[in-house]
Every structure is written in C-alpha cells, then in structure tokens.
C-alpha cells in the first residue's frame, strides 16, 4: 500500500518535470509557422478617381511577417493598417494601376507607408512584405 501511495505522489512531480518540455515543443511549432502571412480581411474596396464613370478598386492583400509577435502587432494595429491603405489607394486613377510595373511600384509604395505608420505606432518593422492576392478594377 505504501508503494502505491508513493507512485501516485510521484505522478504530479513527473508531470511538472515534463511541462517545460511540452511548452518548448509548442513554441517550436509556433515559431515554425513564421515567416508567415496575415491576410487583411475583408478586402480593401475604394473609389478611384471619379473622372468620367465611377470606378472601384477591390484589392486583397496579405502581409508577410517574420514572427508571431509581429503577427500579433499587425492584428492589434489592423485599424491603422486598413486606414492607411484606404487613404493611399482611394482617389487614384485606374490608369496608374494597369501594368505589372505600375502594380509593383504601388506595392513598394504601400509597403513603405505601412512600415512608416506601423513603425511610428509600434517602434519596430512589423511587415516585411505585402502581396496582392486579388486586384480588380471595375
């Protein structure tokens, strides 16, 4: 009976010894997800330059982040991110976004402005790249 009693009293001690190893495994699994991507949902929809017929831009963007901490900072500051993108995209001419080179230039400009805004807010570079995963001018 005393042997059984000792076995049960050792069980909590063994479990406590294993907890750090389990925590490390979950941290390694989480860090293996990065670098990763954070989608901006819902899509960004803005009015383009109203010269002539009304036009709209619907763009799907994914932000590349290097760490889980960066992903959390991006999520926390999503209203700032969406506001900056809407301000930067709205009112542009559809003609400024027709070619691949124009969209590449636009992507670089948006990334630069996002980094600036997020850097001012968080004190660090949060987004390492942005990607257009949908781009419709209508």
We report the CATH number of the domain holding residue 106 as 3.30.479.30
Residues 129 and 107 in one domain: yes
Dump pLDDT digits (tens) for 27-80.
Answer: 544 557 899 999 999 999 999 987 777 799 999 999 999 999 999 999 999 999
Residues 50 and 1 in one domain: no
Residues 27 and 85 in one domain: no
Residues 86 and 28 in one domain: no
Count of domains observed in the chain: 2
Residues 68 and 132 in one domain: yes
Please compute the mean of the pLDDT values over residues 4-26 and round it to a whole number: 54
Residues 117 and 73 in one domain: yes
Dump pLDDT digits (tens) for 97-135.
Answer: 999 999 999 999 999 999 999 999 999 999 999 999 999
Phi-psi domain of 135 (left: phi exceeds 0; alpha: psi -120 through 50; beta: other): beta
d(CA 66, CA 34): 5
pTM: 0.74
Domain span at 15: 1-32
Residues 104 and 63 in one domain: yes
């Amino acid at each position: 009976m005393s042997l059984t009693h000792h076995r049960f009293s050792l069980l909590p001690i063994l479990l406590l010894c294993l907890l750090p190893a389990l925590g490390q495994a979950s941290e390694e699994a989480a860090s293996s997800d990065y670098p990763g991507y954070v989608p901006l949902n819902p899509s960004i929809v803005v009015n383009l330059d109203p010269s002539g017929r009304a036009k709209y831009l619907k763009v799907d963007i994914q932000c590349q982040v290097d760490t889980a901490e960066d992903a959390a900072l991006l999520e926390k500051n999503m209203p700032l991110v969406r506001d900056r993108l809407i301000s930067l995209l709205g009112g542009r001419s559809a003609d400024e976004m027709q070619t691949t080179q124009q969209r590449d230039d636009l992507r670089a400009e948006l990334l630069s402005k996002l980094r600036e805004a997020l850097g001012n807010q968080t004190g660090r570079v949060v987004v390492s790249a942005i990607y257009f995963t949908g781009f419709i001018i209508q």
